Structure 1
Amino acid sequence: MRNKYRLGIDAGGTFTDFVLAENNGELRVFKSPSTPQDGTIAIKAGLTQISEAVGRSIEEIVQDCDLCINGTTVALNALIEKKGVKVGLLCTAGHEDSLEIRLGHKEEGYRYEADFPPAHMIVPRHLRRPINERVIGTGEVDLPLREQEVRDAVSYFKAQGVESVAISFVWAVRNSAHEKRAKEIVQEMMPGVFVCTGSEVYPQVREYTRTSTTVVNAYLSPVMRRYVQKIDDYFKSLGAKYPVRYFQSNGGLAIGEAMQGRAVNAINSGPASAPQAGLFVGQPFGIDNVITVDMGGTSFDITLTKDGQTNLNKNIDFLRYRIGVPMIQVETLGAGGGSLCQVDQYGMLQVGPESAGATPGPVCYGKGGTIPAVTDANLVLGYLNPEAVLGGTIKLNRDAAIAAVKEHVADPLGISVEKAAYGISTIVNLNMVNGIRRVSIERGYDPRDFALLCAGGAAGMHITALAEEIGSTTVLVPKVSSVFCAFGQIISDVRYNYLASEPMRLDDDANLDALNAKFEDLEQQGREHLISDGFNADDISYTRSVEMRYVGQIHECNVEIYPGKICREKMSAILDDFHKRHEELYTYSEPHNPVELVNIESTMVGNVAKPNFQTLEPRGGKAEDALIGYRPALFDADGHWTDTAVYSGPKLDVGIVIRGPAVVEEPTTNIVVRPGWQLVLEPNQCYRLTRC
């Protein structure tokens, strides 16, 4: 760290989390209610808390920060709530309806449901204007751009009050001249209006994906621009010495200028920092295979990292919109502490995805909730302290939780309250396990090879049960788990993805010179970008990947490749890796069939110095020093209550082994240690749980 502090800010839908790292290794955690209408209000409130805690003014703290990092749900919320701007689309004549045709795709589970509604169109049909032009796959111009048609379309956009324009022409990834000229005309006729092209936003093969990604970017970028400018101006007014960094969906940081025109890169900004934090926590244990699970009040987010590399999604449907740019693969479920529990019309117990939210919240909060939530079940089961006061104001009411579980679950099913509460816990656990399997088994990974990392305030009560279900033998629970994404931000690097298409069959006639030249061009762009961001050449690294397929296949398989010049020998190794990866994903490979390359990618990284965090030293304490007492807890479906030891996390010494059943209470989370597990606090301020 160049200065005294590093500040991470994660603006969620309910709370904005703050993590302040000091250069002496101390880590401070703060929370403030989010203010979606103006993010600076929540940030100011959090900075006020920090100011009071460290005894310095807000200006002094900000001026002494080497990095101020902001993760935000602004783009995501605008997409969810359909609150982007009015967009017009210029597309190649004949392709106006590709957004609605969607390659004939219907979401999984609704393929044969005729009444399933179509996706909401960001650009209505009358604002998709056809332009006669044509570039073919070789990059040659088959039909010149008819500029007057562009001008007529822009005149229509002006009359319709369009605020942003997307341009996506067929095969512009091979020759972007028509898109560039159309953009010039739009900027000339509509100065100040946001404009983006497919060859800029997603320069890879797949016309529908490129068009959809470009349209989403045009829809969100003006919203993101307003947000970034407001945040940047606020920090400048405080005297910040360095530009605010923003967290991207690819797991890296970017300056505000880059984010303003690429809002599509910020859609999954919040949970994307969790994998980096997971690796950091696992490093002292030599663990680089990590599944991170983050359970909050409403949702359950899952990410997977294998051999230090996190799963990335490309060309996926996100909220029913096709997104091509790389995004950390985050599996999100409606399974949080506030997930509601009811018996449906068929007599089946349903847990989520509806949530009680913060208001009224679970029944035990006493704020008007009547339907039991997962938190109510955990309270009934003894996993939560019935005398606990959450947030300094909410005292839990166990009797109310019992009554709600009885009325809405136990009585309709004709079972005891205990069995009903355990059933709720079991169902939400199975829902979460299914999500874990989607990011692991369905991607060719065995979850038994991974440590399970616990994040979020509610996950600690379920984590050992999840580990048992997936076969994981190691669980890590950091003390900062409730603000884990903000923590991940302060230890992340700057990251940019550079994409291109270079279709070729990988045989003896493959044009490797062209392939090497394309990679070198992408990486030179990246180096120049990062150097302009303030990085030295020694601080820059990069990785490469390619998308390949067997000739005749529709979909590609992503393969990581080593940097450096690609020669015939290296191409042979790349092909071997492709066959291996294809077999991991689809259980078979065809080594004797021809393979073709479709897309390439270079990921450029500006490596940021990591803070040095304080390590805990043993104080010579005993387990009894942290023992609060005992309370009954339920760990099986037969209703056998167990007198369970309860420990204070802040009083627990390093190296003390706690055997389950036990509960460890931290200020922001509870950790349930099921029978057959043991827990120990490690020097890196992380609890490590293993099977006895």
Structure 2
Amino acid sequence: MGGTFTDVVVTDSFSTWRAKSPTDPADFACGVLDAVAKIATQTDTTVDSLLPQVGRFGLGTTAVTNVVATRGGVHPGLITTAGFEWHALAARGRRVSVGGFLEAPWTPIDEHNIRGVRERTTRDGLTPLELDVDEVLAAGKDLIENEGVEALAVSFLWSFRHPANEALATQALRDAYPDVPVFSGAELHPVIREYERTIVALLNAVCANALSGIETLEDRLAARGMRTPLLVLQATGGTTTVAEARRHPLALLGSGPAAGVVAAAEILSTTGHQTAITCDLGGTSLDVSMVIGGEPERRQRGDVHGHLVAQSSVDVESVGAGGGSIAWVDGRGLLRVGPRSARAVPGPVCYGRGGVEPTLTDAMVVLGYIEPSRFLAGSMPLDGDAAAAACEELGAKIGLTGPETAWGIREVALADMIRATRSRISAGGHDPRHLTLVTSGGSGSLFAPSIAAALSIPTVVAPAAASVLSAFGAASAEVRHERLAAYDCPLAEVDQVDVVAVLNRLADSVDSAVANDGVEIAARAVRFEADVRFFRQAFHLPVPLEIENFDPDAVRDAFLEAYALRYGRGAIMMETPIELAALRAIGTGAVSRAAMPIDLDGVAHGTPATPIGIRAVRLERHEASPTSVFVASELRPGHRIDGPALIDDTDTTLFVPSGGTVHVDKRHSLNLEFDYSTRSESD
């Protein structure tokens, strides 16, 4: 469920159907059911006949993302160690840029909703000050009855290592107030650094009711005959049940983009490509990520409105450049695009829903890349004249014609996309000439080829379900749970027996969580990682572990190799001790999952495809050029298309630049290849 469209993919492993429906911000269940109804029409059935046949229903949602982005959600209260009430507000002294000024980041809690209670546990496990449960309950009562808080967060000092006090306080509050969600920092993220741990608990409390709409959707689907449980995609790229998501709602933050990366990795596994960059361009943003060795790249902490949030997730970076990004003129008279978006309501001007400011989609209509009569297979015709008029009106402010303004909008947005993609590639030390770019999202196929050409990326893969790839990812992701334990010990001094004992305890926990999601024992698996760092470093790197034969020397070698890959061998401090910061168990469960069908009814490789016509497209700034147009549904495996060309699908269009060649593979992916051998150094 995206900010502009809700995407649905249905597959039976022999055929795949897909549909888009506008997202209803007030009731996103409507968008889901409307899209399912479109699928039912495609398959000559009804919603009530289709849903009982569903064996797997995966959902990627922006519900939690929207709560955090709008700074909405419930009003939380915080109970912490007396004397440390301000550490969540101080945000480690971090500042964010707001209108050119540095300001303290948004704080998810009001200062008058924080209560300190007398308790103290030292780092060595001593308890110089016992917890008074009555004081905890009095603080909870004050916050709930007098301050009107709707959820509570509990976070004490050193609770990650010695959680007894925090566990006692959390359970007492849950028993006394069963209708009030209570989140414990030590339960959610038992790792050193009280600020990050507290922020995780607070943001989970803010998002406590974010899943209410999902539960409503689950009930409405069940009422229409669906028997299988709804599996919600997490930011880790794995799925879980709605009930488990209630325990840790923040884990859903950014799950939509994560789903697209999971699906991209699935697609790449069938093509032979192992290392790729993914670009998901929807109506609101461009989401960029990496697939390394066939697996989505992950991170253990991220930035949420200026706060460092420590939680595992697929590493996705977003920029406000999507199809609905609004074009405007700044105070210097320069054309700008985004980050403000028209979203689903009112949407771009060409949607005819009340939008008056031109967007990137409007510009692409004016330039000829999008055919108004064929948008969403003709089910949602666009108003090209309205788009042209909006571009004309904006251009008048800076002395440009409507088409010139549309070209400028495209170029400005494309420059932002290229910059974001180049930055991500450079940050990982990758050579773009050895990468594959996987495109997804409704607008992705229009821009990914130009991004690839600018960065010398040789291959672009546009999967058959490119425009709804996040939905495909939600239906193909495995069940996944993670559990973490702090260790904080020099690697040379670790007790191997103790490490194995901790890993076994974590393994039991994640295996139980996966089992509770309905996965049979034969389909469950557990693997392990260690977070490792140089002595006193603030950040760490994850490395794989083998529990059967835990070897500190192997962990050291793996860490140094990962460190060299990330930062370069010259950055390695060979004489500095290495610390084992934390241990992690990752439990996965194989469940029924979507797969792209294979089409064996192809043509000889390299057979030229036949265009359906010609469209006038502005490939350059000053004039439109007649460009061949193809229809994706008429292409067969083996077909070849040489650029410049446009390939119209039901819900997206692939732009094939001059010098690019498309080959259709057996899963109907469009593989666009560039030959850079004739490029000069100046290119």
Structure 2 CA distance for aligned equivalents of residues 286 and 624 of structure 1: 24
Residue of structure 1 aligned with 2:665, choices 658, 675, 682: 682
Q: Which amino acid aligns with 2:628?
A: A
Superimposed CA distance per residue, residues 573-630 of structure 1 (whole angstroms, 9 cap, x where no aligned partner): 234335424534x961112211112122222111224445432234559977641222
Within the alignment, does 1:544 sit opposite 2:528 as a pair?
Answer: yes
3-state SS of 1:254 partner:
strand
3-state SS of 1:277 partner:
helix
Deviation at 1:528? 2.5
Alignment of 1:79-228 (within 5 A): 79-107=68-96, 109=97, 115-160=101-146, 161-224=148-211, 226-228=212-214
Within the alignment, does 1:530 sit opposite 2:519 as a pair?
Answer: no
Match of 2:287 in 1: 301
Superimposed CA distance per residue, residues 146-174 of structure 1 (whole angstroms, 9 cap, x where no aligned partner): 33321221221232232211110111111
Match of 1:61 in 2: 50
**CA 1:570–1:89: 2 relative to 1, 3 Å:** same
Match of 1:355 in 2: 341
Structure 2 CA distance for aligned equivalents of residues 40 and 414 of structure 1: 45
Structure 2 CA distance for aligned equivalents of residues 38 and 419 of structure 1: 39
Match of 1:576 in 2: 560
Deviation at 1:563? 5.2
Deviation at 1:17? 1.9
Structure 2 CA distance for aligned equivalents of residues 401 and 71 of structure 1: 31
Structure 2 CA distance for aligned equivalents of residues 86 and 280 of structure 1: 40
Match of 2:324 in 1: 338
Structure 2 CA distance for aligned equivalents of residues 66 and 386 of structure 1: 37
Deviation at 1:443? 3.3
**CA 1:419–1:56: 2 relative to 1, 3 Å:** closer
Residue of structure 1 aligned with 2:34, choices 45, 49, 56: 45
Q: Quick check: 1:194–1:222 contact (8 Å CA) kept in 2?
A: no
Alignment of 1:455-534 (within 5 A): 455-507=440-492, 509-534=493-518
Q: Which amino acid aligns with 2:575?
A: H
Deviation at 1:679? 0.8
**CA 1:582–1:34: 2 relative to 1, 3 Å:** closer
Match of 1:3 in 2: none
3-state SS of 2:514 partner:
helix
Q: Which amino acid aligns with 2:600?
A: E
Unmatched segments (≥5 aa) in structure 2: 676-683
Match of 1:375 in 2: 361
Question: How many residues end up aligned between the 2 structures?
Answer: 673
Q: Quick check: 1:626–1:648 contact (8 Å CA) kept in 2?
A: no
Structure 1 CA distance for aligned equivalents of residues 130 and 331 of structure 2: 61
Residue of structure 1 aligned with 2:309, choices 317, 320, 323: 323
Residue of structure 1 aligned with 2:537, choices 553, 556, 559: 553
**CA 1:81–1:424: 2 relative to 1, 3 Å:** closer
**CA 1:391–1:125: 2 relative to 1, 3 Å:** farther
Structure 1 CA distance for aligned equivalents of residues 545 and 157 of structure 2: 29
Q: Quick check: 2:328–2:335 contact (8 Å CA) kept in 1?
A: yes
Within the alignment, does 1:289 sit opposite 2:275 as a pair?
Answer: yes
Match of 2:415 in 1: 430
Residue of structure 2 aligned with 1:634, choices 602, 618, 626: 618
Match of 1:616 in 2: 599
Structure 2 CA distance for aligned equivalents of residues 191 and 459 of structure 1: 46
Match of 2:10 in 1: 20
Deviation at 1:682? 1.1
Structure 2 CA distance for aligned equivalents of residues 264 and 607 of structure 1: 23
Q: Quick check: 2:3–2:284 contact (8 Å CA) kept in 1?
A: no
3-state SS of 1:689 partner:
strand
Deviation at 1:227? 3.3
Structure 1 CA distance for aligned equivalents of residues 360 and 22 of structure 2: 23
Deviation at 1:55? 4.3
Match of 1:242 in 2: 228
Unmatched segments (≥5 aa) in structure 1: 1-10
Q: Quick check: 2:560–2:572 contact (8 Å CA) kept in 1?
A: no
Shifted more, 428-437 versus 380-389: the winner is 380-389
Deviation at 1:365? 4.3
**CA 1:444–1:92: 2 relative to 1, 3 Å:** farther
Residue of structure 2 aligned with 1:643, choices 626, 646, 653: 626
Q: Quick check: 2:632–2:647 contact (8 Å CA) kept in 1?
A: yes
Q: Quick check: 1:164–1:219 contact (8 Å CA) kept in 2?
A: yes
Match of 1:4 in 2: none
Superimposed CA distance per residue, residues 462-516 of structure 1 (whole angstroms, 9 cap, x where no aligned partner): 1111001222111011221121111111111000011111000122x33232222
Deviation at 1:674? 0.5
Match of 2:642 in 1: 659
Identity of aligned residues (%): 27
Structure 2 CA distance for aligned equivalents of residues 414 and 35 of structure 1: 38
Alignment of 1:376-395 (within 5 A): 376-385=362-371, 387-389=373-375, 392=378, 394-395=380-381
Q: Which amino acid aligns with 1:105?
A: R
Q: Quick check: 2:3–2:343 contact (8 Å CA) kept in 1?
A: no
Match of 1:32 in 2: 21
Within the alignment, does 1:453 sit opposite 2:416 as a pair?
Answer: no
TM-score if structure 1 supplies the norm length?
0.90
3-state SS of 1:62 partner:
helix
Match of 2:250 in 1: 264
3-state SS of 1:276 partner:
helix
Q: Quick check: 2:640–2:661 contact (8 Å CA) kept in 1?
A: yes
Deviation at 1:644? 1.7
Structure 2 CA distance for aligned equivalents of residues 626 and 485 of structure 1: 30
Q: Which amino acid aligns with 1:351?
A: V
Deviation at 1:204? 1.3
Q: Which amino acid aligns with 1:345?
A: G
Shifted more, 35-44 versus 550-559: the winner is 35-44
3-state SS of 2:255 partner:
coil
Deviation at 1:561? 4.1
Shifted more, 612-621 versus 586-595: the winner is 612-621
**CA 1:158–1:374: 2 relative to 1, 3 Å:** closer
